[in-house]
Structures are given as C-alpha cells and as structure tokens.
A and B are shown apart, each in its own frame.
Chain A
Amino acid sequence: MCVIPPSLYFIAPGLKKYATLVLKKELYYLKLEPKGVERYIEDYFNATGNNMVSTLKWKVLFYKNAGWENSSHISDLIKYYLLSSDFFINKTDESKLVNYLGLFNSYKSPFPNPYSYVLYPPSEIGEPPR
C-alpha cells in the first residue's frame, strides 16, 4: 500500500468525492447526469463498504492519476456505473445523456443484459461475411 503523507490525508477530500472525480475523468466522453452520478457513488460505496482502507486506496488512485488499466477498483466503479445507467439501453450512444437508474441488480431493477437479444433482437444481428 502506498503511504500517504499525514498532511495530505487531513486536507484531502473524502472518499466519495475522490471516486466521483475518478469516474468523471474516466467517462469524460459521456454526458453524465450530475445528480445521478452523486447518487450512484453514494449507493456504490454503501453497497461495497466504506472504511479507512478503502478511503486510502481511492486517494492513492486519485493522486497517482491511476486509470482503469491499472486498477480493478476504477474498472469496477466504471463498469457498475455503466451497467446501472441507461447507457446500454441506449445502445452505447455517446450523444445521449447518461442517467443513473439504480444500482445494477437483476433482481431489483429491470436492467437488461447489455449483450442480450432484449436490446439486440435477431433481426439486428447480421450474418457472417462470405
């Protein structure tokens, strides 16, 4: 674990704020509905736990300018945001505003599987080239 200087720890923003900054940085190419992002971060960290170790990991990631390529934390954060929004329902259309719909859960929310025939029926699937 990277050691954070105590001065930095005491003046640095909270865990959720770091994660919000990371998410917006990584998804810069999308128009994210802002209140939805806040609600997602709240729900995500309530679901995954909120302790000092997590806080330190998120701060390390932010200050090291880590990206999804070298952090499964960031990758998971992005992944679950996209799954929890209408991004895949809108077929990954970057021109559309991305709205958070509630934390991805196949039992609680009617999120279709982003790969599935529900969004891509057989009529839309082409045939292999000859």
Chain B
Amino acid sequence: MKYDNYDLVVIGTGFASSFFLRKYLSKNDKKKKILVLEKGHVYPYAERLKVEKGLSSPYQKYASPWQENIVNLNSKKVWQFTTAYGGSSNCWWGCTPRFMPNDFNMKSRYGIAQDWPISYDELDPYYYEAEEIMSVSGPEDTPFPRNGKYPLPPHTFSIVDKILHKKYGNQYVSQATARASRGLTHRNSCMALSTCHTCPVNAKFTIENSGMDIYQDSRVEVVYGCAVFSLETVNDVVRKVLYVKDGQDHSIGGEVVVLGANPFFNSNILLNAGDKNPLTGKGIGEQLGMQVQIYLNDMQNVGGSSWVNANGYMLYDGEHRKDFAACLIEVNNAPYFIRVERGKQLNVASFRMVFEDLPIASNYVATTVNKLIPEVHFNERSSYALRGIDNMKNKLPEILSCLPVEKIIYQDTEPNEGHIIGGTRMSNDKNDGVVDKHLIHHQYRNLFVLGAGAFTTYGPSNPTLTLSALSLFAADKVF
C-alpha cells in the first residue's frame, strides 16, 4: 500500500462499491487517498469468453466458484455470485426495472414487514442517474413513475407481447434492461442469445465495459487478492480494515470505510468485528421464481430482441399484498423452451413468475472457524410468498384469456433468481435495522454497508438498479 491510512477504504468492486465510488469521486477534491480492496482478481471478459468457447485461458486460475466461498448448508438452494474485479456484474443477466413506489412502504401500505427509511421519490433522481450510467434500454410509459425516454430505445415486442400490451397498457411493457438494444461505444447490441451470464456479444453492462474510469482515477489505489474478514473498532469507530493477502493477515487504516461486498461477506465481516446488532446477518433471502410455459394455438411467439423481452405487472401491486406476495412476470425468449411437436415448435410463451419474499430470521449468515468463509442458513420460504403462487395459478388463465392458450404448464419453483438480499437492513430506528437511510451503520458511524443487504423488504423487482441508485444516493447525501 502507498499509505498507512486512507481517507476512504472500499471493500469490493461490484455494483454497490463502483456506483458509490463514482459519486464520491465527483464530490471530493483531488487530494483524497482512496484504497479499494478486492478479494478477487481481474478476470477479463475476453478471457471468460474464451473459456465459454472451450478454449483455455491463463486467467482461469482466478475463477472462484461461489460454492468455494461460502458454506452453503442447503444444497438445494443456489447462490450465484462472482468473486473478481467487477463483482457480480460479471455474472448478472442485466434486468433493470425500478421498484414500485409501494415496495418501499409495505408496512404502512399493507401491514407487512417494515417500511424502508427511504421513499421512491427520494431515490428517483438516482434511478435516472444509474439508468444513464448503464445505458438502460426501456419503454416510455412505465408502471413505475418515470418521465421521458430511457437512454436507449426499448427492445422489440413479439406478437404475444403486442397483444398483452394492447390489453394491459403500461402494466405490460418492454423490460427496462442493461442489455443494450443498440450498439454503444463499449458494448454491442443484444442478440437475444440468452446466455447472459457471459454475454457472447458483450451487450450487457458490466463494471469492466462501463466506461467509468473510477479505478483508474489518480486518487484510487486498487489492490487485488485481499480478502477482508473483519474490522478493528475503537469506541464504535472503525479504525482499521483487517484482511488476508497472500496467506498473511494485514490491516490498513481508514477514516471512512465502505463495505461493498455481497451480503454474505458484509455480514461476515461485521460479525467477525463483534457487531452485536441482533439483525446483522439475519433475514438473508431473495425472490422465489417459477417457470411457466404457455402453449399457444396457431401463434408463434417470435420477434423479441432480448432474453427477457417484457415485464408484466398484472399481479404485482395492489391490496392483495396485505395477504400474499406480489408477482413480477418476466417474459423470456430463451431457446431452450421450444416445443417439439410438429408445426408448434415456436408456439410457446415462456414466463418466469417472480414472487417477493419476506425476511425470515431463521434464514441467516453465521461465521465459521474459517474467518473468510461464512455459512449460509436458508431453509424457509414465507407462507406469504407461497400464497402468492397459489393466487397466480388461479389468476393466470384469466390474465391470458386474450391469447389463444392451448395449455399452461407450471414447473417447480427454481433454486435461485440470481440475487442475494438482506442481512444488513435499513431502518430509521436503530432497533429495527443495521444501517440508516444513508447506508451508514447505526453503531459504527464511519462505516457504510452497501448493496442489497440493506434492503428492508424483498420486492419482486430485480435489485441491481435499486442498489446502484442507493449507492449514488448515499454518497451524494453524505459527502
């Protein structure tokens, strides 16, 4: 390290950290000393692509499967994440709808769980900013409040999408997505190849292709291979960050510390540091998904221009959320869902029904004897989410009555939606959460804990845009 002490120490280089750092750099002078500690290494997109093509790469040694980074006590539950420069921007699938306003007010609106300490309106300007950074493609008329055009035009509809949009208006729209609908300087346009974890044509936004030069800023020093495991605190002030590099323990001082790892590791670091907040690490979870195949009579579902072409909000918001979960419909064009009957191969719409879930205390992160590896306890889905599934099965035939439906096939629920949420929830009152509305730890007032870990409730909408906007918000308001 260049220095013994830094103005800002950031852990991680994923969405949360990167969007925070971008805002911080724009608001601070040229003399700031910033250290970024990244557990993984640089594993460039071009090299990941080579491996997907069956070629070898010298960077393969940096592949760090998620299964090796946590103790996953439920083998039926999958948690996808990437440990590398850019974090899970390397493996996400690029869906960026905003939350709905009532997602932030579940308690006051529906009597469920807890309200967030931040409102949609407060986050709105930062949603725009994050959408601009990601060059999101999306429609003009959205179910969530938004004015004007997205940075890129929306993806194209199939005839099925057009029929549903005609009936439901802005409750069925082209999905807002960071899979580009047009070519950009750093990205190509989406070809709907539907293997977005490593996009074959580099259409999906990642930290690597973002064009943000935050990690090249002269104020920023990035060190790779640093696995942060704890913090040293004195009188509730974080003084040092403790990490392992090259098999040795190290520490480094920081005036302000930012935890931008994923919720498993943010929780692990806090617990190792002696955080006694009863909610730290608690309520880990994500949405619950179910794939539904809709077989169509004499109608090919063709013409979409991205993996997930549209989002349906017909089962999302409303008074029903007093009783059961909201559901976001993801309409996807993945080729693996073709039919095999003669003349009907493309006569199918493939819906992913994504249900919100609630934080449950029996789903939590705990430390282990290995200070770097947390164990994840996840054994329960809320009855609230499961009732949402029942409602969906009752309502879907009527919702789809405008289509020539031959059959609806409900698959089993999926083992993951690609998200990790909870563990360090936001609250106004320190007794109800771990961090405040600016993502500052209630106890350690020079410590930010970013990311979807801070979500108070887990609405159906994909979390990445919201957690990125939260990072921009926090850095903007505090500095």
Q: Does B156 sit at the interface, judged by CB under 8 A?
A: yes
Bitwise interface map of B from 185 to 207 toward A, beta carbon under 8 Å scored 1, else 0: 00000011111001010000000
- Expressed in whole angstroms, the minimum distance between the Cβ of B336 and any Cβ of chain A is 7
One of B224-232, B300-308, B460-468 at the interface: B300-308
Residues in B neighbouring A26, C-beta threshold 8 A = 340
- Expressed in whole angstroms, the minimum distance between the Cβ of A84 and any Cβ of chain B is 11
Chain B: which residue is nearest A29 at the CB level?
A: B342
Q: B156, A117: Cβ atoms under 8 Å?
A: yes
* A116-B191, A116-B192 given; A107·B49 CB < 8 A: yes
Q: Does B345 sit at the interface, judged by CB under 8 A?
A: yes
Among residues 237 to 281 in chain B, which have CB atoms less than 8 Å away from a CB atom of chain A?
none
- CA A120 – CA B160 in complex, angstroms? 13
> Number of B residues contacting the other chain (C-beta, 8 Å)?
35
- CA A28 – CA B181 in complex, angstroms? 39
- CA A128 – CA B53 in complex, angstroms? 40
Residues in B neighbouring A120, C-beta threshold 8 A = 158, 300, 302-303
* Contact size range, A: 20 to 34
Q: B162, A107: Cβ atoms under 8 Å?
A: no
- Expressed in whole angstroms, the minimum distance between the Cβ of B53 and any Cβ of chain A is 5
Q: Does A55 sit at the interface, judged by CB under 8 A?
A: no
Q: Does A66 sit at the interface, judged by CB under 8 A?
A: no
* A92-B345, A108-B53 given; A115·B162 CB < 8 A: no
Q: B303, A122: Cβ atoms under 8 Å?
A: yes
- Expressed in whole angstroms, the minimum distance between the Cβ of B137 and any Cβ of chain A is 13
Q: B194, A122: Cβ atoms under 8 Å?
A: no
- CA A61 – CA B92 in complex, angstroms? 39
* A106-B194, A113-B193 given; A78·B340 CB < 8 A: yes
Chain A: which residue is nearest B342 at the CB level?
A: A29
* A120-B303, A125-B303, A128-B163 given; A115·B53 CB < 8 A: no
Chain B: which residue is nearest A116 at the CB level?
A: B192
Q: B346, A115: Cβ atoms under 8 Å?
A: yes
Q: Does B351 sit at the interface, judged by CB under 8 A?
A: no
Residues in B neighbouring A94, C-beta threshold 8 A = 343
